[in-house]
Structure 1
Amino acid sequence: MKLNMLRLTLFVFFVSNFMVKAQNKSVLFTVNDVPVYASDFKRVYNKNLDLVKDDSQKDIDNYLDLFIKYKLKIAEARALELDKKTSYIREFGNYKNQLAKNYLNDNKVTDQLVEEAYQRLLTEIDANHILVRIEENASPQDSLSAYKEIQKLRGRVINEGFEAIKQDVHNGRTIFAEQLGYFTAFKMVYPFETAAYNTAVGQWSQPFRTQFGFHVVFVKDKRKNRGDLTVAHIMLTDKDGQQTAQQRIDEIYKRIQQGEAFGALAKQFSEDKSSSSKGGQLNTFSSGQLSSKAFEEVAFGLKNINDVSKPFKSEFGYHIVKLIDKKGIKSFEELEPELKNKIKRDSRSKVINDKRIEALYAKYNVSKTLPNLQPITSILNDNYFKSTWNIPNNFKNETVLVSIKDKPLTYMDFAKFLAKSQRQRQPKIDLNQLVKNNYKVFLESHLKAYQEENLENENEEYAHILGEYRDGLLLFDLMETQIWNVSKQDSVGLQSFYNAHKDNYFHDVRLDAIVASSAEKSMIKKTAKLLSKNTTVDQIKGQLNSDSKINVSFITDTLNVNHQALPKGLDIKTGVSKIFKHNDAYSVVKIIRVLPKTAKTFEESKGNVIADYQAKIEKEWLEKLAKKYTVKINQDTLKQVKDELK
């Protein structure tokens, strides 16, 4: 019994799923035999349900009527070939390229990099490094040689110490041995940053490669990020004279202690011309950004806003520093958008690109094994390195080199790619290696291009958004050419429409009035008495307000009876009203004149006339479209849709 019940349950489940899938492919209606699917209608209906304020539009039949009219307009736009306009193609292409960026990469990879970057921002690292410089596209032999050299230097620096190695090998051209000071995320290229954060304090990393060459890094210290500082300073440098810079800076410090303004003294005495005119204020900085470690240590040592340091000496002279502002690291939620933008511009973007390429190789089942590239190597020569190489006239090789699903790429395609990718003054390398390097770039560029070309077929969400924008852009152009511009330019038609519908355009009852408001009831009572005595607004302000305090504010204007400043229950008659509690304040109104309901002139009502005239033209135009295009509704599918949506 239980087994039969299980079979029945599974049967119902599979039938239900089959019915849903079948309905998703079901045609709800056609426009001149062009199908519109039930799934499209349901998706748009559900998407817009919460946005619709008019309950009548939530009715499925009413909404279907609107949807059909929308599809009639799109059909007309295509019939008029608005989708072939240069301006349309350009604008749609720009949007498509921008939208595609959000769907081409794996967002999980970006999210992981953002989280990692934030965690690293919380910690500052003080490090030394040694670099063996080598070109990014160096030959395998040169790369191996550089790797062996950095391995040897790592062994030496562990045994001999950093300073000894620095003095012996640092030449600033091919080998660098440098003290880096403190840094945090985004201050170094990503592979270097990663190696530093993954190395323990007091340890040398294993050799690693960046775009600059092979490195090893020594982590001297790790500490909590000290945040951002804004400071002002007064700086003096030693000059010939009776007083030394130290004596002068001590005198200035005493004047600060006596209560003189730091900014004024900076303007008078500071020899840092870039900041003295601003009262000594420097741009906000974080650890490692300034070239003076001594200055940073004093600045970050100030605890409270407006604290002033004692005079001290740096590499640049004598200073006094004042703390203007001190901020810690923002929360992850606050920094997340900024981090995402930084990652797009940072060397981390290569990680995102590499993950994308790796996924595309698998997705399209493309082998990473190199094909026979000899036909290409055989037609290359040293002219390539001078950017003067041309494909030989007798090279007509259309043999398929590699395929990305249904797209074959030939030897000729690769040859054309090489011809276009030439650049002057590129370093000369072995031609076999050149072809291998460029084949990888050629294939991966085509993998990305193929994904972009087929994204609409591969990603349903992207296809829906793109389709909505495509139709929305067409609809805008159609309405502009068929309705909006026509109605605005038809001055005779607008005037005739106004004459026929004058009763629809009028001024409601209005008041020439003075409205006074105050937080204090006593002030409004005084104001009411003064208004009753015909005291002017300026005179009342003079009596009740002062330069230091505004007790009463006024509106003097012609106001609609529904104006927000007028209290509910106001008796519409001339004179001074009673006192009201309105909008969390006390108000009194003096009505000088009541203006009755009057007809608006054509100019006064022109905006409303144009809108109403456009609605009339659109209604008549839609009636013509309904006759021009044949719409057939599948009633069985409509019933299924109604049952599901209800």
Structure 2
Amino acid sequence: MMTRKVFYRLLPTFVLAVLLWAGCSGAREATQEAALLPQAQDSSVVAVLDGEAITLSDIERRYRRSLGGNSAAVPDSAELRDFLDRYINFRLKVKAAEDAGIGDLPEIQEEIDTYRLQLARPYMLEQEVLEPIIREVYTRSQDMVDASHILIRVAPDASPADTLEAYNMIRALVDSVKAGADFGELALRYSEDPSASREGPGYKGRLGFFTAGQMVAPFEDAAYNTPVGQVSDIVRTRFGYHILYVHDRQPAIPDIEVAHIMIIPRGPTGADTAAALEQIEELRRRFENGEDFRALAREYSMDHNTREQGGRLGIMSFNNPVIPPEFRDAAFAIENPGEISDVVQSRFGFHLIYLIDRKERKPYEEAYEDLKTQVTRLPRTEQAQRAFARQARARYGVTVDTAQVRAVLHTFPADTIIAHLAVNDFDALFEDTTFATIGDAGYTLSDFFAFAKTQRLERNRPLEPQLMAALDAFLDDRALDYEAMRLQERDEEFRTLMEEFRDGLLLFRVMEDSVWNAASRDSVGLRAYFDAHAEAYRFPDRTRLIGFYSRDDSLLTDIAARLDAGATVADIQALVASDSTLSLRIDTTLVAGPTNSVYDEALSLEAGSHTDVLAYRNGHVLLLHDGIEPARPKTFEEARSEVVTAYQEVLEQRLLERLRKRYALYVFPERLEQAFAGHAAAAAPAGDSPTG
């Protein structure tokens, strides 16, 4: 039987399965009595269950979601009627649970509250923090910017004097640029970015092309907001003050997948260079004459990191600063997959580049999960989450008695506090000491110190500022929890998700009590069902396979030789029993037909024959065909799991029959003909629960 913990993880899938596969039984059609119902006057109502209307839009939405979107939701009246019956069965079970008071049970409420918090916070942060950044990164990544910059370093916590000194310096550089000074020369002389003064990426401040998500947010904002050919305003980042000069802005070039062959001159002389060039030209000619690029790379490429993979470098982005420009330009100039570049010389040697594939820019919905992974790691996301937490703190109001925290500092030595936090027993001293509130929620020093132990306090730094920083983070964290617990009040989509979860819990409890557990407990009913349907439970003809399993393939080779010489399985078993050094397992498997596994190797053999030694999991196996086990009826114990499953279906149908008698139910199937009129309904996101 499914455990509740597993069920909660699979809840959306479970409810979907209920709607797709649940058995159905007939509902009362619309009658003269039904026509008098107030709800029946509304043509959008397709059913009334115990006075509760089920509307056409409800069914359209749930049916559409069950099929993964509107494009699949063809208005087939028979399918839609069948779906309506299944949905009514679902609502009947939930209704029965509600009337039984299951939804009010403390353990159910606790599960709902726990799930709400587990779901609400990530849901809220994705909606409020991640999605705006993901959308911005996706939109901006359609373009790439080529820019230079000058950096004057100043720490985020620098003194006012140091900050002013750095600002005055960057201000003077702005004036110099406006007066006509060369931006690159100024970067070479004054920029405190180390790359500005050495050959390579960043030399003279030239960063080359980059796109969204590659730079810190204020820098990126300046790059995308500054017109080509102009200098940005002064920008402050965690590194210091910057000014940018934008050289170019172009549509982003989609990524490509490439492989290469690299030949390195064997010495510094011109003759060495000429020999390397001649070798790679010869490889180019061989490719053009039909030889396989990957085979040539494996044999001749001097790039030992890629040669075994046929020279494959993987996905390459145009704005990757690590790639030498000459290599990048040649790679992106190749027109068609399967073609190669001319010979390219970089600082590493000579290259032939092979285009494997050109990637297409994905639509936003398809790119979303990859962008989400990227955005989650960006510093701007943490900053946006912190800002959102501060808004929540301001909205609900925060009180905090920092004196209580400082009193702890004065009572215990710093080393003692850190040591107690490390062994998880310090917070227990303050369980009843409330020191902070957010809205109507109170927090104890115990809550705070339990949080502080996750903040990696350092012994070699003053403890008080570390604890004050941890306190600020604690209030942010609790403000997010407080906001998340109220999300259901203001977010309709989240409210729907929670209603789905609650309905799923009630459904699970009804099925658990009235069907799953009931079937397993009813030994008399199970036996009676088996006796009435015994002919349905039979074994077909099955091949009996004796498997000899060992990590030592030479041992299995010896076993095969013994079998060929006439040894029986009993002889092999006796051999193993007499020698404890032999690592051999022997067992019997009955196979009814092809299994798409190693056992299939033995199915076509004659009885008494064996396979060769075969690879199996982390070892090897030798399989002996030991004859055919004739078809026969299953015993009750052999068929028990199948009988339980079938009997559960019987109990479920009995449950539905009782519920349909208990509750007044009227259905107006003719109104389903209006469903998906013109296919105008918007598609629901694939993967949503069908009961949303």
Q: Same fold (TM over 0.5)?
A: yes
Q: How big is the shift at 1:82?
A: 5.9
The residue that corresponds to 2:478 in the other structure is: 446
CA–CA separation in structure 2 for the residues paired with 1:428 and 1:140: 22
8 A Cα contact 1:117 1:185, kept in partner: yes
Q: How big is the shift at 1:295?
A: 0.7
Higher relative contact order (CA 8 A, sep 6+): 2
The residue that corresponds to 1:302 in the other structure is: 334
Q: How big is the shift at 1:285?
A: 0.7
CA–CA separation in structure 2 for the residues paired with 1:345 and 1:279: 32
The residue that corresponds to 1:406 in the other structure is: 440
The residue that corresponds to 2:266 in the other structure is: 239
The residue that corresponds to 2:280 in the other structure is: 249
Q: How big is the shift at 1:451?
A: 1.5
212-221 or 49-58, larger mean C-alpha shift? 49-58
Q: Work out whether 1:196 is the aligned partner of 2:218.
A: no
Once the two structures are superposed, residues 474-509 of structure 1 have per-residue CA deviations (whole angstroms, 9 ceiling, x without a partner) of 543563466424524655542222334679x699xx
CA–CA separation in structure 1 for the residues paired with 2:471 and 2:504: 41
8 A Cα contact 2:188 2:196, kept in partner: no
Counterpart residue type for residue 113 of structure 1: I
8 A Cα contact 2:144 2:251, kept in partner: yes
The residue that corresponds to 2:184 in the other structure is: 162
Matches within 5 A, 1:203-352: 203-240=230-267, 243-244=272-273, 245-289=276-320, 290-350=322-382, 352=384
Q: Work out whether 1:182 is the aligned partner of 2:204.
A: no
264-273 or 346-355, larger mean C-alpha shift? 346-355
* TM-score, structure 1 as length reference: 0.60
8 A Cα contact 1:401 1:409, kept in partner: yes
Once the two structures are superposed, residues 75-103 of structure 1 have per-residue CA deviations (whole angstroms, 9 ceiling, x without a partner) of 3x876x7649xxx95xx677434531464
CA–CA separation in structure 1 for the residues paired with 2:188 and 2:344: 30
Q: Work out whether 1:613 is the aligned partner of 2:658.
A: no
CA–CA separation in structure 1 for the residues paired with 2:56 and 2:90: 8
The residue that corresponds to 2:151 in the other structure is: 131
Counterpart residue type for residue 487 of structure 1: A
Q: How big is the shift at 1:227?
A: 1.2
Q: How big is the shift at 1:178?
A: 4.4
CA–CA separation in structure 1 for the residues paired with 2:373 and 2:651: 47
8 A Cα contact 1:82 1:477, kept in partner: no
Q: How big is the shift at 1:410?
A: 8.1
Q: How big is the shift at 1:293?
A: 1.5
Q: How big is the shift at 1:58?
A: 9.1
Gaps of 5+ in 2: 1-37, 40-48, 64-79, 539-591, 594-631, 667-671, 673-692
CA–CA separation in structure 2 for the residues paired with 1:345 and 1:441: 18
Once the two structures are superposed, residues 530-549 of structure 1 have per-residue CA deviations (whole angstroms, 9 ceiling, x without a partner) of xxxxxxxxxxxxxxxxxxxx
Gaps of 5+ in 1: 1-18, 21-35, 508-556, 559-598, 640-644
Q: How big is the shift at 1:225?
A: 1.4
Q: Work out whether 1:499 is the aligned partner of 2:521.
A: no
CA–CA separation in structure 1 for the residues paired with 2:156 and 2:82: 63
8 A Cα contact 1:156 1:165, kept in partner: no
SS in 1 for 2:345: strand
SS in 2 for 1:217: strand
Counterpart residue type for residue 185 of structure 1: A
Q: How big is the shift at 1:317?
A: 0.8
CA–CA separation in structure 2 for the residues paired with 1:476 and 1:179: 62
The alignment's C-alpha RMSD in Å is: 5.4
Counterpart residue type for residue 99 of structure 1: L
Q: How big is the shift at 1:379?
A: 7.3
Q: Work out whether 1:423 is the aligned partner of 2:454.
A: no
Once the two structures are superposed, residues 148-194 of structure 1 have per-residue CA deviations (whole angstroms, 9 ceiling, x without a partner) of 45444555566364335434554749999743222111222333222
8 A Cα contact 1:386 1:424, kept in partner: no
171-180 or 321-330, larger mean C-alpha shift? 171-180
CA–CA separation in structure 2 for the residues paired with 1:217 and 1:625: 72
The structure-2 alpha-carbon separation of the partners of 1:83 and 1:375, relative to structure 1 and needing over 3 Å to count, comes to closer
Q: How big is the shift at 1:294?
A: 1.5
Q: Work out whether 1:113 is the aligned partner of 2:133.
A: yes
CA–CA separation in structure 2 for the residues paired with 1:199 and 1:113: 20
The structure-2 alpha-carbon separation of the partners of 1:72 and 1:426, relative to structure 1 and needing over 3 Å to count, comes to farther
Matches within 5 A, 1:46-125: 47=58, 51=63, 53-54=81-82, 57=85, 66-72=93-99, 75=102, 83=108, 95-101=115-121, 103-105=123-125, 107=127, 110-125=130-145
CA–CA separation in structure 2 for the residues paired with 1:246 and 1:139: 58
Once the two structures are superposed, residues 87-122 of structure 1 have per-residue CA deviations (whole angstroms, 9 ceiling, x without a partner) of x95xx6774345314642483765543443223212
8 A Cα contact 2:121 2:481, kept in partner: no
Once the two structures are superposed, residues 324-364 of structure 1 have per-residue CA deviations (whole angstroms, 9 ceiling, x without a partner) of 22234333444344334433333342464256335424542
Higher radius of gyration, 1 or 2 = 1
8 A Cα contact 2:117 2:481, kept in partner: no
The structure-2 alpha-carbon separation of the partners of 1:235 and 1:402, relative to structure 1 and needing over 3 Å to count, comes to same
Residue of structure 2 aligned with 1:479, choices 481, 488, 511 = 511
The structure-2 alpha-carbon separation of the partners of 1:253 and 1:408, relative to structure 1 and needing over 3 Å to count, comes to closer
* TM-score, structure 2 as length reference: 0.56
CA–CA separation in structure 1 for the residues paired with 2:416 and 2:189: 39
8 A Cα contact 2:121 2:480, kept in partner: no
8 A Cα contact 1:233 1:281, kept in partner: yes
Q: How big is the shift at 1:374?
A: 7.1
8 A Cα contact 2:457 2:466, kept in partner: no
CA–CA separation in structure 2 for the residues paired with 1:311 and 1:379: 71
The residue that corresponds to 1:563 in the other structure is: none
CA–CA separation in structure 2 for the residues paired with 1:318 and 1:474: 68
CA–CA separation in structure 2 for the residues paired with 1:140 and 1:419: 33
243-252 or 151-160, larger mean C-alpha shift? 151-160
CA–CA separation in structure 1 for the residues paired with 2:405 and 2:442: 17
CA–CA separation in structure 2 for the residues paired with 1:345 and 1:360: 23
SS in 2 for 1:307: coil
CA–CA separation in structure 1 for the residues paired with 2:107 and 2:407: 50
CA–CA separation in structure 1 for the residues paired with 2:151 and 2:57: 59
The structure-2 alpha-carbon separation of the partners of 1:312 and 1:210, relative to structure 1 and needing over 3 Å to count, comes to same
CA–CA separation in structure 2 for the residues paired with 1:454 and 1:212: 38
Q: How big is the shift at 1:390?
A: 9.4
Counterpart residue type for residue 191 of structure 1: P
8 A Cα contact 1:235 1:319, kept in partner: yes
SS in 1 for 2:367: helix
8 A Cα contact 1:106 1:356, kept in partner: no
The structure-2 alpha-carbon separation of the partners of 1:466 and 1:184, relative to structure 1 and needing over 3 Å to count, comes to same
CA–CA separation in structure 2 for the residues paired with 1:486 and 1:495: 14
The structure-2 alpha-carbon separation of the partners of 1:174 and 1:363, relative to structure 1 and needing over 3 Å to count, comes to farther
The structure-2 alpha-carbon separation of the partners of 1:625 and 1:350, relative to structure 1 and needing over 3 Å to count, comes to same
The structure-2 alpha-carbon separation of the partners of 1:456 and 1:335, relative to structure 1 and needing over 3 Å to count, comes to closer
